[in-house]
Amino acid sequence: MRNEVRPRVTLVGAGPGDPELITLKGVLALNKADVVLYDALIDRALLHHAPDKALKIFVGKRHGSHQNPQDETNRLCVVYAQKYGHVVRLKGGDPFVFGRGAEELDYIQQFGIDTAVVPGISSTVAVPASVGIPVTKRGISESYWVITGTTSSGALSDDLKLACRSKATVVLLMGTKKLKEIVHTYEAHGLTDKPIAIVERGTTREEKVVAGTMEDIVAKATEQQIGAPAIIVIGEVVRESPRLRAVYEEVLCEHQLISWSNE
Ligand code: SAH
Which of 43-52, 62-71, 100-109, 244-253 is predicted with the least confidence, judged by mean pLDDT?
A: 62-71
Average pLDDT over residues 214-236: 97
Could you give the residue ranges of the DSSP H alpha helices within the chain? 24-31, 69-84, 101-109, 123-130, 159-163, 179-188, 217-223, 245-249
Regarding the beta carbon of 78 and ligand 1, being less than 6 Å apart is answered no
Pairwise CA distance, residues 152 & 65, whole Å: 19
CATH for 124-258, options being 3.30.950.10, 3.40.718.10, 3.40.50.300, 3.30.70.1450: 3.30.950.10
61 is catalytic: yes
Regarding the beta carbon of 174 and ligand 1, being less than 6 Å apart is answered yes
Adjacent-strand bridge partners of 70 = none
Q: Give me Rg for the CA atoms of the chain.
A: 20
pLDDT band of 68, cuts 50, 70, 90: low
Domain locations in the chain as residue ranges: 8-121, 124-258
Per DSSP, the three-state class of 164 is: coil
pLDDT in tens, 3-62: 689 999 999 999 999 999 999 999 999 999 999 999 989 999 999 999 999 999 999 875
71 is catalytic: no
CATH annotation of 8-121: 3.40.1010.10
